[in-house]
């Protein structure tokens, strides 16, 4: 029973990690196929970053998302990868919440232009964040000695 529970947890962790990785890769692809200025406009609309940072983030963030996605899928250095992803998603959710609190009716910019910030985008990103948090916790969790001894 215990070994099957661990197996289920392990499989769930892997599936979630790969799925989230694919989401990051897709998000990066959608931004990279369009002119970077489109993403820059979305970032600028939040009104959080100074102008000189907007271009840098617009150009660099999609590549970072792409690398992070591949990194998550690969499974290497999971603690760092999943922790980084969690922090990134928390940053995105924070920015969207900030925009909503300030009454800004702007695009999310998450998967390219055309998607307004709303309950769906926040729930979606929160779900990704929850999945990443789970995977991060699982990357630190070690089965107890007894379970390991009995091949759990």
Partner 1 sequence: MKVKLRVVVLLALAASLAPATDYIKGNSFGNPSAPVMIEIFSDFQCPACKLFHDTEFPRLMKEYVAPGKVYVINRYFPLEMHPYGMKAAEVVAAAAQLGKYEQASEIAFAKQQEWGTSGKIEETVDNVLTSAEQQKLKGLLKAPAVQQTIAHDVTEGKAVPVPGTPTLVITYRLKRYTVGGREVLKYEWIKAMLDDILSK
SS3 category, 108: strand
Q: Which is nearer to partner 1, 16 or 117 (CB)?
A: 117
Measured in whole angstroms, the distance separating CA 34 from the mean position of its chain's CA atoms is 20
- Measured from the CB atom, is 34 or 150 closer to partner 1? 34
46: which residues sit within 8 A by CB, 6+ positions away?
Answer: 95, 98, 99, 104, 106
Tell me the closest approach of the beta carbon of residue 70 to partner 1, in angstroms: 25
Pick the closer one to partner 1 by CB: 109 or 129. 109
Q: Could you give the CA distance from residue 151 to residue 61 in angstroms, rounded to a whole number?
A: 42
Residue numbers at the binding site for partner 1 (CB under 8 A):
34-38, 40-42, 44-45, 47, 55, 105-107, 113-114, 116
Q: How far is the CB of 31 from partner 1 (least distance, A)?
A: 13
Nearer to partner 1, 35 or 91 (CB): 35
Residue ranges of alpha helices (H) inside 47-118 are 51-74, 78-101
Shortest Å, Cβ 15 to partner 1: 35
Looking at the Cβ atoms of 37 and 137, the one nearer to partner 1 is 37
Phi/psi at 114 (5° precision)? 100, -5
Q: d(Cα 98, Cα 139) in Å, to the nearest integer?
A: 30
Shortest distance, position 114 Cβ to partner 1, whole Å? 6
Q: In whole angstroms, how close is the CB of 30 to partner 1 at the nearest point?
A: 13
Let me know the angle formed at the C-alpha of 123 by 89 and 111, rounded to the nearest 5 degrees: 60
């Amino acid at each position: 029973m215990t070994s099957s529970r661990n197996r289920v947890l392990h499989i769930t962790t892997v599936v979630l990690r790969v799925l989230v990785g694919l989401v990051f890769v897709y998000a990066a692809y959608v931004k990279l196929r369009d002119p970077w200025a489109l993403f820059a406009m979305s970032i600028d609309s939040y009104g959080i970053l100074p102008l000189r940072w907007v271009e840098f983030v617009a150009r660099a963030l999609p590549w970072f998302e792409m690398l992070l996605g591949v990194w998550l899928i690969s499974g290497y250095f999971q603690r760092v990868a999943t922790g980084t992803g969690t922090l990134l998603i928390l940053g995105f959710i924070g920015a969207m919440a900030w925009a909503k609190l300030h009454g800004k009716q702007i695009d999310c910019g998450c998967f390219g232009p055309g998607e307004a910030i709303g309950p769906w985008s926040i729930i979606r990103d929160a779900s990704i964040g929850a999945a990443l948090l789970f995977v991060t916790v699982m990357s630190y969790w070690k089965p107890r000695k007894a379970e390991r001894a009995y091949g759990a």
